[in-house]
Amino acid sequence: MANTNKKQYTFLNVVNAVTSKGTNFKNMVIKGYVSRIQEGEANGKKLIRATVVCSGRTKIINSMFGTNIPEDNVVWINVTVWEDRAERFKHMLEAIGNPNTVNLVLIGSASVNKYTNKNGEEVEGINLSVNDWTLCGGNTGSNSGNKPAASTPTQASQTPTEAANGDELGDGFDFDDFEDFEDFDGSEIPFA
């Protein structure tokens, strides 16, 4: 019998980033089960809204965003996929049978969401505007769990000629491109 008291930790990475125009933002990568998936529209723009739970990572969230979320709390992250990306996201969901939940790695720009909860308390959460995603294993492709998962191409796999030429990620680089770099031992860093 499995130990159900074991604390679960969500894969989460948040870094400070800067756009090419000098705008600061928080780039977030999170892996989890996305649920409460709904299509909608805001200001005439199509979107998909969903949530993903973040467990065991409130210290990271509080540190990176300046929030004061109690450490034992689970953080529900509000996910939004906009316009053309929303159409591709919808197509991916249709390809795997429109499940109620889907296991994804989400990448995007994150910000603090301050709101009043149903108990009238002022609380803080996180919003994630999704730029990219990757379908993970464990997706059944149906709400009942009976269909196998469909293979949905990721951005990297949509460039087969580049991948065939050694560009595994489709980003213009080949892993062999780094052979020219010498091993770095760190002794030249003055503050190490």
* Model pLDDT for residues 78-133, shown as the tens digit of each residue: 999 999 999 999 999 999 998 989 999 999 999 999 999 999 999 999 999 999 99
> Could you write out the three-class secondary structure of 54-96?
ECCCHHHHHHHHCCCCCCCCCEEEEEEEEHHHHHHHHHHHHHC
Domains of the chain by residue range:
11-135
Task: Look at residue 25 in the predicted model and tell me its pLDDT.
Answer: 96
130 Cα distance to chain centroid: 7
Report whether CATH 1.20.1560.10 matches the domain 11-135. Answer: no
